[in-house]
Amino acid sequence: MRKAYVAGNWKMNCTIGEATELAKGLVAGLSADANADVAVVPQFLAIGAVKEVVAGTPIKLGAQDVYFEKNGAFTGEISTAMLKDAGCEFALVGHSERRHVLGETDEIIRKKLDALLAEGLEVILCVGEQLEEREANQTEKVLEEQTVAGIKGLTPAQLAKVTIAYEPVWAIGTGKVATTEQAQSAHKFIRDLVAKLFDQAAADALRIQYGGSVKPDNAKDLLAQPDVDGALVGGAALKADSFLGIIAGA
């Protein structure tokens, strides 16, 4: 039985002060018997302040991105060791905004994933199709390409540190949520693919989050799908009440 995993991706929102207040609201409101693993993913500059607030609580701390080189002349970038030093347990890689706004390729995303695992950090690997791809019946092709590029060849111990987030690009920040059938079908497709790439036990242990306009009022139905193991939440993670409502739905 996979434990639900709900992560809040704050994106390029919240000053350090705002992030601190949001984290305090979550710590105050998170019930001790919450049935889910919970994580927050602030912008880089707020990671230190949020760490102070969530230290000693069950809330995990992650970063939105990372660079794959260890150090050196890479102006503007942050390494895996720097994230670890700042208190992060994981980072997102392959978020659709990085793929489609910032031009990241599957190859770059894989290098980032490998670098995080080499540092002993966990990863949330985001995959998902764009609207044109869904309309052209390319959803499974895109999911297969992104998933294979992201995890093929990992050892079982490495795979155990990876969560996949299925985020249909057309549902992110648009208020257009995937139907429970669309989400379940994509999640099942990814899980079956992982069973082929690894084995059934590895596929059964893998947590696959859904992301894209998750709100307190739709979280419960989405998370009730057999292959939906949690949520990666953007907009609705920016208010403690709504994020806690989503966690309650798990």
DSSP state of 67: -
172 binds ligand PGA (CB under 6 A): yes
Q: Which of 6, 233, 240, 250 is in the footprint of ligand PGA by CB under 6 A? A: 233
From 97, 104, 133, 167, active-site residue: 167
DSSP string, 200-232: HHHHHH--EEEESS--HHHHHHHHTSTT--EEE
Q: Choose which of 64, 139, 146, 213 interacts with ligand PGA (CB under 6 A).
A: 213
Q: What is the DSSP letter of 97?
A: I
Work out which of 173, 179, 220, 224 binds ligand PGA, going by CB under 6 A. Answer: 173
* Chain Cα centroid distance, residue 219: 15
Minimum distance from residue 51 beta carbon to ligand PGA (Å): 21
Which stretch in 27-35, 155-163, 165-173, 241-249 sits in contact with ligand PGA by CB under 6 A? 165-173
Residue 86 CA to residue 47 CA, distance in Å, equals 7
Q: Which is nearer to ligand PGA, 198 or 243 (CB)?
A: 243
CB 238 within 8 A of CB 14: yes
Please tell me whether residue 235 binds ligand PGA under the rule CB under 6 A: yes
Active-site residue identified among 95, 104, 133, 187: 95
Distance of alpha carbon 217 from its chain centroid, rounded? 20
Q: Which residues are catalytic?
A: 95, 167
